Structure 1
Amino acid sequence: MTKTIPLLTTLLLAAVVAGITWQLQSPKSLTLRFYPYMGEQVLVFNDLRYQNPGGPGKFLIRDLQLFISNIHLIGKKQTYRQPDSYHLLRFDNDKGYFDIVLKDVALNEYDRIELGIGVDPDANGSIVFSGDLDPNGRMAWNWQVGYKFLLLEGRLTSNEKSIPLVYHIGFDESYTRVTVPLANDSGFFDQITTLKVDFSKLFMQETPVNMEQVSTVKFDPDNVRLIAQAFPDLLSIN
């Protein structure tokens, strides 16, 4: 009898270890949840509350869309690449955030997330539909130019003037890869990673953008470059 108890204990421990190992290695879902921010506060649409960073007046944001693409999870031994990974982030919904769900992922194998802001050059010049890419949609310019990576529209009020704000940012050279850490809570359950998209970075640069002087950006390469140079700092773990 005294020999049976250690044997049962060993078998139970082996079963527990096997169960934990199976649970850790079994595929999970990872939700990337993107929240729009202006500085330290969640973005509020259609509210004339934001100060022009480089000049007088206040502005509001009415419409905001952003392409995120080519999502990779990277670990020490392997990389996960999401198929058809082109996502058009929109925040004009009751939730106030946008989810991208990666299914069947061995979360414990990865420690960082790499993704693209915008559309990579190959897809930007292609007529092939993939993910949220739609060459007939509002975010498409034409076959020669490709897609708008960022669409931000609103209004600036300055010196009793109302000035439309239109920022359509694209071009291959604006495509930007960024990496953020993946905080793996336990590996036992499906996971939500919350990311902050701070749109104030587009204008609060080393030399703040005067939105009264640069109120419309579409096809001018210098002005597009001015706004897109903030892309590397746009995302962070919230």
Structure 2
Amino acid sequence: MKKIAIIVLTVWTLTACNDREETPSGMAVSFSFSHVLDGNPLELEGDAFTLPSGESFTPRKFKYYISNITFKNSISGSSYTVSDGYFLIDEAGKKKFSVEIPSDDYDALTFYVGIDKARNLSTDQVGDLDPSNDMAWNWNTGYKFLVLEGEWEYESDERHGLVVHIGSNDPESEQNFKAINFDLASAGQSLGSEAVVQLDFQAELNELFMDPNELILHELENTSIKGGKWAVNIANNYQEGFFTLQ
């Protein structure tokens, strides 16, 4: 009996050790972003799209910052925020990045569009905060959070420029620095002990123009939006319904 007990204990110990060895201490999480306009893949300098308010729009540039990424375990209350994680997503360039995080049963995720106050007013260039990325304001310290540029026309052949540069025109309140929250569990994307995880996000540009604030270009006096009421309205639009986890 003693020999049998020793054998059973040895097998159990080896199995437990193997289980511990198979659970990684960290995981690599890859973020991938795709962009659509009215459900169609976004194409810069390509065919024109019809915006929700009827304008014909040809996009020329689209990019934005993702930052302050935090994974949460709502059961244990634990969380992990990626340190110095500032990532520029550019339709004409990089649309993917990866982060290393400790293993945990994460069931919620938050990231922000834009740059937080502390880093926005700093000259430390961590992550993608390099002025050569053409996301720094020319006349002031700080960064553009989201940029959309192109040309539009409405009921004529006369073309107009659209310049949307959203930053924080009130750094103290960070009013355009918006949190985007995801319930990983409900999306079937809870993170457990996997060593590598892929998260795919899609951004629908129509949402910038319609929800919750309708933006009708042909009714605006000026379609160069770099601050003020419409910058805030667009920031509120990209906080709600702009991103979906695929």
Short-chain TM bin: 0.7 to 0.9
The structural deviation recorded for 1:144 is 3.9
Please, what TM-score do these two structures have when normalized by structure 1?
0.84
- Kindly indicate which of the two structures has a greater share of residues assigned to strand: 1
Residues 81/61 of structure 1: CA separation in 2 closer, same or farther (3 Å cut) = same
Check conservation: 1:127, 1:135, Cα contact below 8 A: no
Aligned to 1:169: 166
Unaligned runs of 5+ in 2: 169-173
Check conservation: 2:164, 2:226, Cα contact below 8 A: no
The structural deviation recorded for 1:35 is 1.5
- Superposition pairs for residues 134-149 of structure 1, below 5 Å? 134-135=130-131, 137-142=133-138, 144=140, 146-149=142-145
SS in 2 for 1:212: helix
Aligned to 2:11: 12
Check conservation: 1:30, 1:105, Cα contact below 8 A: no
SS in 2 for 1:165: strand
Aligned to 1:130: 126
Aligned to 2:57: 59
Residue 179 of structure 1: which of 162, 181, 202 is its match?
A: 181
2:11 alignment partner AA: L
Aligned to 1:195: 201
Residues 45/11 of structure 1: CA separation in 2 closer, same or farther (3 Å cut) = farther
1:228 alignment partner AA: A
- Superposition pairs for residues 65-214 of structure 1, below 5 Å? 65-75=63-73, 76-93=76-93, 98-106=95-103, 108-135=104-131, 137-142=133-138, 144=140, 146-158=142-154, 159-171=156-168, 172-182=174-184, 183-184=189-190, 187-206=193-212, 208-214=214-220
The structural deviation recorded for 1:31 is 0.7
SS in 2 for 1:73: strand
The structural deviation recorded for 1:194 is 0.9
Aligned to 2:236: 229
